[in-house]
A and B are shown apart, each in its own frame.
Chain A
Amino acid sequence: MAYISVPIPALPHPSPMHIPDGFLSAPVAGVGYALAAVFVAIAVWRTNRSLGEKSVPLMGVTAACIFAAQMMNFPVAGGTSGHLLGGTLAAILVGPWAAIIVMTSVIGVQGLMFQDGGLSALGFNVFNMGVITVLVGYGIYYLAALFANGQRGWVLPTGVFVASWITVMLAAFATSIELAVSGTSPLHVVLPAMMGVHALIGIGEGLITAAAVTFVLTTRPDLIAQPQRAAPQGGLS
């Protein structure tokens, strides 16, 4: 397709940027592929024996919405934008293992078809945005849900917000380490910059995720498995 030079002007439109080719050294990229492979394998192993029937359509819908939402860059301070990662949201909706499959599919399609994220960086893009966010986000959500114990109110949405914010920070932290180890930018330079920007982007992630979870809990509470402490009397579910 390269020979057809359609003059596409400098893109004013969505340019969500995952780690592109060239940012990670070959060894670091290799480690990323290995880590992603391990967690995707665990996710497949877990889901191919225990995937619930209603999870299938929900997985497809979640993937489609996260793909679309990642295109919607929202402005944060100083001529910078951010976009949803969606790992926490996916984990809450379909559970952590199915969520890793959802996120890997989204990030894979973005890298292979939309040139968003380099091929060499695909492993760490999956690990940063589709494994760390999912597992940590789910863990914090789980605690918040136990704390809320099935009650409607501010506890659960607040927990979801905090979970989402922390996962964005962790993904930014991991990316900084990977860039530093690759020799792309020294850690003392890249880390504070990444954490600063993503502290703001994380607020967007938290608000969107909390709103989305609240929306689903309001309209289709049956779709979200809410962990609860032992029911006081009789079963709650």
Chain B
Amino acid sequence: MTKKGYVALLLVGLGIALVITLLSPLASSSPDGLERVAEDKAFVDRGKDAPYEVIADYAFPWVGNEDAATILGGVVGVVIVAALVLTLGVGLRALSRRAAVAGTKPAGPTPPTPAGGKAGGGEG
């Protein structure tokens, strides 16, 4: 894949995530599977509130409009999750590349070759 291909993949993929987020106010407000069972079987009261809240229930604080709060919360989440995983991925990829290089070449300065950055393992 070319550099352009990566950028396109990122833009399109994150775009899809953001579009889903924009639609999140349309999500069903009914309790989900576990919550429904907890209510029906009368153990929902055992649940405790979190010791702290950041963006509880996906509603960004201090935003009056609920739809806007949910969308904003979702956008923040999408950005944080993407940034976190991309950072982890870049780190793991760097380690993978080092592992591949260590396995094939002796250490020490090597003359730059055109095929430089292409040492890489197989598919994840």
User: A residues near B, CB below 8 A?
Assistant: 1-2, 4, 6, 8-9, 11-23, 44, 47-65, 67-69, 71-76, 78-83, 94-95, 97-98, 101-102, 105-106, 109-110, 112-116, 118-119, 172, 175, 179, 184-185, 189-190, 193-194, 197-198, 201, 220, 222-223, 225
Contacts and interface: CB of A to CB of B under 8 A. Distances in A.
B120 A68 contact: no
A67 B92 contact: no
A1 B96 contact: no
Contact of A81 (B9, B21, B30, B95): B30
Given A59-B89, A65-B17, A79-B30, 6 more contacts: A13-B67, A15-B35, A50-B122, A80-B33, A101-B85, A190-B43
A229 B43 CA distance: 49
Given A53-B93, A81-B29, A114-B73, A64 B13 contact: yes
Interface string B1-34: 1000010011011101110110111111111111
Contacts of A197: 33, 36-37
A83 B89 CA distance: 26
Contacts, number: 283
A17 B34 contact: yes
Nearest to B40: A193
B50 interface: yes
Q: Give chain B's interface residue range (CB within 8 Å of chain A).
A: 35 or more
A72 B13 CA distance: 17
B33 A118 contact: no
Contacts of A71: 20-21, 24, 27, 58, 70, 74, 77
B57 A68 contact: no
Nearest to A112: B54
Interface of B: 1, 6, 9-10, 12-14, 16-18, 20-21, 23-38, 40-41, 43, 46-59, 61-62, 66-67, 70, 73-74, 77-78, 80-86, 88-90, 92-93, 95-96, 99-100, 120-124
Contact of A57 (B10, B81, B84): B10
Contacts of A1: 52-54, 61
A20 B121 contact: no
Nearest to A94: B124
Contacts of A11: 29, 57, 59, 66
Given A57-B86, A60-B89, A73-B28, A115 B78 contact: no
Contacts of A49: 95-96, 99-100, 121
